Chain A
Amino acid sequence: AQSVTQLGSHVSVSEGALVLLRCNYSSSVPPYLFWYVQYPNQGLQLLLKYTSAATLVKGINGFEAEFKKSETSFHLTKPSAHMSDAAEYFCAVSGNAGNMLTFGGGTRLMVKP
């Protein structure tokens, strides 16, 4: 079985500040991990993915995430928030046979001017 917990359903940062969105996972097999972003009235777009290569993964729009096995975490960061980063972010894990993704509950990021 696998599961994802995203700590904080809402996160608010000021423009230019560090963005940190937390994700912890549970998986009985070595996981593949993903971050998706959803802008209002749109589908989910893949930001980045960890597939057992480098533990620090760089994605689009300046985001990156670090896989920490000892902490079962895959937190998403961006050094400097931009107004256009305001969206909902979903962490997901794939670990079962096949490629089923299990999603976390999502974190809504708000960016203040």
Chain B
Amino acid sequence: DSGVTQTPKHLITATGQRVTLRCSPRSGDLSVYWYQQSLDQGLQFLIQYYNGEERAKGNILERFSAQQFPDLHSELNLSSLELGDSALYFCASSVRGKADGYTFGSGTRLTVV
């Protein structure tokens, strides 16, 4: 157990629908990162939050949004889902400081049918 908890582990939904993925960071970690992993795109950085504030944005679609709550858990919202959104979505957390690296959760596998 890495200490980063992601729910749900699996999600199957239809095109056009909206889903919410949840992440609880490791205790003491203030930063949360969301990544999308697919066969054709590899690991793509989506967005970072630090202590409740958006800190950096990557290749995140406008249909996707995220937030980090006062208790530091984060949610990634995916709307108007398309078949191509099927992927593994990872959350990672870290303390402040670039020497620390990330601790990853086990991911949410999203399948859009």
- The total of chain A residues at the interface (CB under 8 A) is 25
Chain A window 81-113, contacts with chain B (Cβ cutoff 8 Å), 1 for yes, 0 for no: 000000000101011101111110110000000
Chain B window 100-112, contacts with chain A (Cβ cutoff 8 Å), 1 for yes, 0 for no: 1111111101000
A45 interfacial by beta-carbon distance below 8 Å:
yes
- Chain B interface SS verdict (over half): strand
CB of A43 within 8 A of CB of B100, answer no
B28 interfacial by beta-carbon distance below 8 Å:
no
CB of B106 within 8 A of CB of A101, answer no
**Cα of A103 to Cα of B42 in the assembled complex, Å:** 9
Closest-CB distance, A38 to chain B (whole angstroms): 9
CB of A99 within 8 A of CB of B100, answer yes
| CB neighbours of B59 from chain A (8 A) | none
B18 interfacial by beta-carbon distance below 8 Å:
no
Taking a contact as CB atoms closer than 8 A, the residue among B2, B98, B105, B107 that contacts A32 in the complex is: B98
**Cα of A103 to Cα of B45 in the assembled complex, Å:** 9
**Cα of A87 to Cα of B97 in the assembled complex, Å:** 28
Chain B window 78-98, contacts with chain A (Cβ cutoff 8 Å), 1 for yes, 0 for no: 000000000000101010111
Closest-CB distance, B95 to chain A (whole angstroms): 8
B24 interfacial by beta-carbon distance below 8 Å:
no
Question: Given contacts A49-B99, A103-B43, A106-B43, is CB(A98)–CB(B56) below 8 Å?
Answer: yes
Question: Given contacts A43-B104, A106-B43, is CB(A99)–CB(B98) below 8 Å?
Answer: yes
Interface residues of B (CB under 8 A from A): 2, 4, 31, 33, 42-43, 45, 48, 50, 55-56, 90, 92, 94, 96-107, 109
A-B contact pairs, 27 of them (CB 8 A): A34-B101, A36-B104, A42-B107, A43-B2, A43-B4, A43-B107, A44-B92, A44-B102, A44-B104, A45-B2, A45-B104, A51-B99, A52-B99, A92-B101, A98-B56, A99-B31, A99-B96, A99-B98, A99-B101, A100-B45, A100-B56, A101-B45, A101-B102, A103-B42, A103-B43, A105-B42, A106-B43
